[in-house]
C-alpha cells in the first residue's frame, strides 16, 4: 500500500504541472495583449465621458475665444482622439496652463434644480419677475445679509459661481460649470440657502405649526426626492448645502445619501455625514485679510491670542481650563465675545499683532476663528480633537498650524511651554506657508482661480468617483434605485441626547 501511493501522485503532479505551465503561458501572452491595448484605454474612457458634453460646450460658443470652429480644415481632418482632446481644451482645461491641484484636469459639470426663489434668492429679499427663478446677475446681484450670517454664506458664493458660468467668456480658472441636461451632469446641485434659512427663520410664530425654516426643509425633501434625478441615483450625486451646524436638522435625516457641504461633522451621526461622502468647507472669515503683510515675528508683540466666549457647553470645557492656565501669562491676550460684537477692526488688530492664535473647540469642533487667524497670518493653534478641516486631502495643515490634543493642552504649562519653544525660524516658515494657502479660504464674487469657491468645487469633484462606484454597484440587480429603497437600507441609529 505504502508503495503505490507515490506513483499516482507523481503522475498527477507531473500532468498538472504541465497544465499549469500551459495555462500560465496563455495568461502571460494574454496579459501582454491587455497591457498593450489598455495603454490607450483609460484615455479613451475619459474622452468618451467628455464627449457626451456637446450640449454644455455650446453654451460657451459666444465669446469663448478658444471655442471650436467646426468649419476649419484642421478640425475635420483630425482623428477622433484629437477632436475630443480639443474638447477638453474647450472646457477650459488648456494643457498649457494646467494647475497643480489634484484632479483639475476636468471641470465639474453641475446641474442645478430650478428651485422656487423662496429657497434661495428670495431669502435675500429679491423677488422673481417673469418666469425665471434666478436673478439676472449681469444686471443685479442680490446681497447676502452681513454680520455673523456671512460666515456660513458658502451657499451664496457657490450658487453665484454656477449662475455666472453661463455668461463666462472663458472657463479659465473655473472648476465647475452649470449644465442644463441632468443626464450629462456629474452632480446635481440643490440651491437651498439652508444656513440663512436657519439664521432667519428658526423662530416659530405662535399661530404656526412649523417654523418657516422647518417648513422649507419639509418642502425641499418633497421636491428633491420626487425628482427623476434623485430617483436615478438614490440621491448620491446630489450636493446639498448645510454649512451652519444647525441647518437642515430635519431634512438631513431624509436626504442623507446626498453629499453635504458642511462646516464640521460634530452634530452628525456618522452614517448621515462622514469625511468619505461629504465635503468640509471653510467658514468665510469675518475679519479683513492682511494684504501685503509685513508684520513678521518681531512685529507681533502678543504671543498668543484668543477670541471668543470662555464658557461654552459640551466640548468647550477645555476653554475654561485653558483660560485659568493662561490668564496670568503676560503676553497672552484673551478677548471675550464674538468678533462682530467685539468689533471686527479690534479683532483684526489683535490677531495681526499676535504670533499665535488659539482655536479651541466650542459648541462645535469647528469655528470661524480658524479662518480669521489664517486671514491675519496668525499661526493657528488648534485644540479640537474632533475637528475636520477643509481640503485636508490635498492640504497638510501641520505646515501652517499647531495641533495640540485637548488632554495635553490642559496639563499645567504644557501649552505655554510648547508655544514659547517655537523659534523665529520655525514660526516664519509657517507664516510664509499661511500666506501661500490663504487664498484657498477666500470667498468672493466673481470667484478667482484657486479661491475657496473653486477649491470646494474641486473637493466635490474628488468625491465623484466615490459615489459613482456606489451608484453603479447599486444597479447590479436592477436599473433603478429610488430614494425610498435607499432610505430603507439606512441603518437604525441613535441620536445622542445633546444632539440638538
Ligand atoms: C440629455 O442628454 C442625453 C445624453 O447625452 C440625451 O440622450 C438627451 O436627449 C438629452 N436631453 C435633452 C433634453 O437634450
Ligand atoms: C500689495 O502689493 C502688491 C504688489 O507689490 C500691490 O500691487 C498691491 O497694490 C498692494 N496692496 C495693498 C493693499 O497695499
Summary mean pLDDT of the chain: 80
- Are 196 and 160 in the same domain? yes
Q: Which atom of ligand 2 is nearest to the CA of 292?
A: 1
Whose alpha carbon is nearest atom 10 of ligand 1? 181
Whose alpha carbon is nearest atom 1 of ligand 2? 292
**Residue 485 domain-assigned (yes or no):** no
- Are 370 and 318 in the same domain? yes
What is the whole-number distance in angstroms between the Cα of residue 435 and the centre of ligand 2? 14
pLDDT reading at 471 higher than 50: yes
pLDDT average, residue stretch 27-35: 61
Whose alpha carbon is nearest atom 5 of ligand 2? 292
- Are 176 and 279 in the same domain? yes
Q: Which residue from 476, 443, 464 is spatially nearest to 155, judged by alpha carbons?
A: 443
What cell numbers appear for 58 in the block?
A: 455650446
Q: Which residue from 396, 399, 395, 325 is spatially nearest to 360, judged by alpha carbons?
A: 325
When comparing pLDDT for 438 and 482, which is higher?
438
- Express each pLDDT in 112-135 by its tens digit: 999 999 999 999 999 998 889 999
Q: What angle do CA 284, 319, 287 make, to 5 degrees?
A: 25
**Residue 500 domain-assigned (yes or no):** no
**Residue 386 domain-assigned (yes or no):** yes
- Are 341 and 268 in the same domain? no
Q: What distance in Å separates the CA atoms of residue 230 and residue 90, rounded to the nearest whole number?
A: 30
Q: Which atom of ligand 1 is nearest to the CA of 54?
A: 5
**Residue 9 domain-assigned (yes or no):** no
User: How many other C-beta atoms are found inside a 10 Å radius of the C-beta of residue 151?
Assistant: 26
Q: What angle do CA 328, 330, 331 make, to 5 degrees?
A: 125
**Residue 434 domain-assigned (yes or no):** yes
Whose alpha carbon is nearest atom 1 of ligand 1? 181
pLDDT band at 335 (very low <50, low <70, confident <90, very high): confident
pLDDT reading at 87 higher than 60: no
Q: Which residue from 164, 180, 184 is spatially nearest to 50, judged by alpha carbons?
A: 184
pLDDT band at 53 (very low <50, low <70, confident <90, very high): very low
When comparing pLDDT for 31 and 85, which is higher?
31
pLDDT average, residue stretch 407-427: 96
- Are 261 and 120 in the same domain? yes
Say if ligand 2 is within 6 A of residue 292 CB. yes
- Are 400 and 259 in the same domain? no
Residue 317 burial (C-beta neighbours within 10 Å; 0-12, 13-18, 19+): middle
Q: Which atom of ligand 1 is nearest to the CA of 55?
A: 14
pLDDT reading at 243 higher than 60: yes
What is the whole-number distance in angstroms between the Cα of residue 69 and the centre of ligand 1? 23
Q: What distance in Å separates the CA atoms of residue 57 and residue 42, rounded to the nearest whole number?
A: 22
Whose alpha carbon is nearest atom 10 of ligand 2? 292
Q: What is the pLDDT of residue 50?
A: 35
What is the whole-number distance in angstroms between the Cα of residue 238 and the centre of ligand 1? 19
Number of domains in the chain: 2
Residue 224 burial (C-beta neighbours within 10 Å; 0-12, 13-18, 19+): buried
Q: What percent of the chain has pLDDT over 90?
A: 56
Tell me the whole-structure pTM to 2 decimals. 0.76
- Are 432 and 378 in the same domain? yes
| Phi-psi category of residue 396: left, alpha or beta, with phi > 0 → left and psi -120 to 50 → alpha | beta
pLDDT average, residue stretch 93-106: 42
Whose alpha carbon is nearest atom 12 of ligand 1? 181
- Are 279 and 305 in the same domain? no
pLDDT reading at 46 higher than 60: no
In sequence order, which residues have a C-beta less than 8 Å from that of residue 197 and are 6 or more positions away? Answer: 119, 123, 212, 213, 216, 217, 247
Of 256, 284, 312, the residue that ends a domain is 284
pLDDT reading at 270 higher than 80: yes
- Are 130 and 267 in the same domain? yes
Of 394, 410, 441, the residue that ends a domain is 441
When comparing pLDDT for 143 and 492, which is higher?
143
Say if ligand 2 is within 6 A of residue 76 CB. no
What is the whole-number distance in angstroms between the Cα of residue 171 and the centre of ligand 2? 26
Q: What distance in Å separates the CA atoms of residue 152 and residue 389, rounded to the nearest whole number?
A: 15
pLDDT reading at 40 higher than 90: no
Q: What is the pLDDT of residue 495?
A: 45
What is the whole-number distance in angstroms between the Cα of residue 294 and the centre of ligand 2? 12
Q: Which atom of ligand 2 is nearest to the CA of 291?
A: 13
Ligand nearest to the CA of 109: 1
Ligand nearest to the CA of 290: 2
Q: What is the pLDDT of residue 105?
A: 52
**Domain region containing 181:** 100-284
- Are 276 and 336 in the same domain? no
Please, are residues 427 and 379 in contact by the beta-carbon 8 Å criterion?
Answer: yes
- Are 116 and 215 in the same domain? yes
pLDDT average, residue stretch 72-85: 32
What is the whole-number distance in angstroms between the Cα of residue 181 and the centre of ligand 1? 6
Q: What distance in Å separates the CA atoms of residue 410 and residue 324, rounded to the nearest whole number?
A: 10
What is the whole-number distance in angstroms between the Cα of residue 93 and the centre of ligand 2? 29
pLDDT reading at 56 higher than 50: no
Say if ligand 2 is within 6 A of residue 291 CB. yes
What is the whole-number distance in angstroms between the Cα of residue 292 and the centre of ligand 2? 6
- Are 343 and 280 in the same domain? no
Among 292, 293, 438, which is best to mutate for testing ligand 2, by the most ligand atoms less than 8 A from CB? 292
Q: How many CA atoms lie within 13 A of 333 on its CB side?
A: 19
Say if ligand 1 is within 6 A of residue 48 CB. no
User: Which domain CATH number covers 302?
Assistant: 3.40.50.2000
Say if ligand 1 is within 6 A of residue 58 CB. no
pLDDT reading at 19 higher than 80: no
**Residue 322 domain-assigned (yes or no):** yes
Ligand nearest to the CA of 288: 2
Q: What is the pLDDT of residue 317?
A: 74
Q: What is the pLDDT of residue 314?
A: 57
Which residue carries 441636461 as its cell? 181
Of 408, 441, 474, the residue that ends a domain is 441
In sequence order, which residues have a C-beta less than 8 Å from that of residue 268 and are 6 or more positions away? Answer: 252, 262, 274
**Residue 479 domain-assigned (yes or no):** no
Q: What angle do CA 354, 448, 288 make, to 5 degrees?
A: 25
Q: What distance in Å separates the CA atoms of residue 349 and residue 352, rounded to the nearest whole number?
A: 5
When comparing pLDDT for 270 and 32, which is higher?
270
**Residue 175 domain-assigned (yes or no):** yes
What is the whole-number distance in angstroms between the Cα of residue 284 and the centre of ligand 2? 22
Phi, psi angles (nearest 5°) of residue 280: -90, 125
Q: What is the pLDDT of residue 288?
A: 85
pLDDT reading at 171 higher than 60: yes
Amino acid at each position: 500500500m505504502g508503495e503505490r501511493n507515490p506513483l499516482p501522485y507523481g503522475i498527477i503532479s507531473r500532468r498538472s504541472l504541465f497544465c499549469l505551465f500551459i495555462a500560465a503561458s496563455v495568461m502571460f501572452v494574454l496579459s501582454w495583449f491587455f497591457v498593450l491595448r489598455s495603454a490607450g484605454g483609460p484615455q479613451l474612457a475619459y474622452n468618451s465621458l467628455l464627449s457626451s458634453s456637446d450640449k454644455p460646450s455650446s453654451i460657451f460658443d459666444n465669446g469663448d475665444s478658444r471655442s471650436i470652429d467646426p468649419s476649419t480644415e484642421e478640425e475635420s481632418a483630425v482623428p477622433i482622439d484629437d477632436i475630443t482632446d480639443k474638447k477638453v481644451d474647450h472646457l477650459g482645461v488648456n494643457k498649457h496652463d494646467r494647475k497643480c491641484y489634484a484632479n483639475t484636469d476636468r471641470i465639474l459639470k453641475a446641474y442645478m434644480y430650478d428651485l422656487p426663489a423662496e429657497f434661495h434668492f428670495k431669502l435675500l429679499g429679491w423677488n422673481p419677475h417673469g418666469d425665471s427663478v434666478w436673478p439676472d446677475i449681469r444686471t443685479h446681484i442680490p446681497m447676502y445679509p452681513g454680520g455673523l450670517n456671512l460666515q456660513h454664506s458658502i451657499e451664496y458664493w457657490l450658487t453665484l459661481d454656477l449662475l455666472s458660468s453661463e455668461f463666462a467668456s472663458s472657463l479659465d480658472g473655473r472648476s465647475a460649470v452649470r449644465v442644463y441636461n441632468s443626464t450629462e451632469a456629474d452632480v446635481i446641485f440643490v440651491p437651498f440657502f439652508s444656513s440663512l434659512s436657519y439664521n432667519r427663520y428658526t423662530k416659530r410664530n405662535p399661530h404656526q405649526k412649523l417654523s418657516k425654516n422647518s417648513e422649507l426643509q419639509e418642502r425641499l425633501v418633497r421636491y428633491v426626492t420626487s425628482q427623476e434625478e434623485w430617483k436615478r441615483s438614490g440621491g448620491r450625486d446630489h450636493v446639498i448645502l448645510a454649512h451652519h451646524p444647525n441647518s437642515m436638522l430635519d431634512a438631513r435625516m431624509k436626504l442623507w445619501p446626498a453629499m453635504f457641504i458642511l462646516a464640521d461633522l460634530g452634530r452628525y451621526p456618522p452614517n448621515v455625514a462622514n469625511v468619505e461622502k461629504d465635503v468640509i468647507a471653510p467658514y468665510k472669515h469675518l475679519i479683513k485679510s492682511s494684504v501685503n503683510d509685513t508684520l513678521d515675528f518681531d512685529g507681533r508683540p502678543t504671543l498668543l491670542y484668543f477670541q471668543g466666549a470662555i464658557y461654552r457647553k459640551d466640548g468647550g470645557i477645555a476653554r475654561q481650563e485653558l483660560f485659568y492656565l493662561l490668564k496670568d501669562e503676560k503676553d497672552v491676550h484673551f478677548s471675550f465675545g464674538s468678533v462682530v460684537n467685539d468689533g471686527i477692526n479690534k479683532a483684526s488688530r489683535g490677531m495681526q499683532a499676535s504670533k499665535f492664535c488659539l482655536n479651541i473647540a466650542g459648541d462645535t469642533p469647528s469655528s470661524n476663528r480658524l479662518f480669521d487667524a489664517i486671514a491675519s497670518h496668525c499661526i493657528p493653534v488648534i485644540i479640537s480633537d474632533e475637528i475636520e478641516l477643509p481640503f485636508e486631502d490635498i492640504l497638510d495643515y501641520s505646515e501652517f498650524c499647531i495641533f495640540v490634543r485637548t488632554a495635553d493642552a490642559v496639563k499645567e504649562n504644557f501649552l505655554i511651554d510648547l508655544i514659547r519653544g517655537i523659534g523665529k525660524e520655525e514660526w516664519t516658515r509657517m507664516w510664509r506657508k499661511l500666506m501661500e494657502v490663504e487664498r484657498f479660504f477666500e470667498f468672493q464674487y466673481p470667484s478667482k482661480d484657486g479661491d475657496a469657491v473653486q477649491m470646494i468645487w474641486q473637493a466635490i469633484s474628488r468625491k465623484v468617483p466615490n459615489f459613482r462606484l456606489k451608484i453603479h454597484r447599486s444597479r447590479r440587480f436592477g436599473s433603478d434605485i429610488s430614494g425610498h429603497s435607499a432610505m430603507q437600507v439606512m441603518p437604525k441609529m441613535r441620536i445622542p441626547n445633546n444632539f440638538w
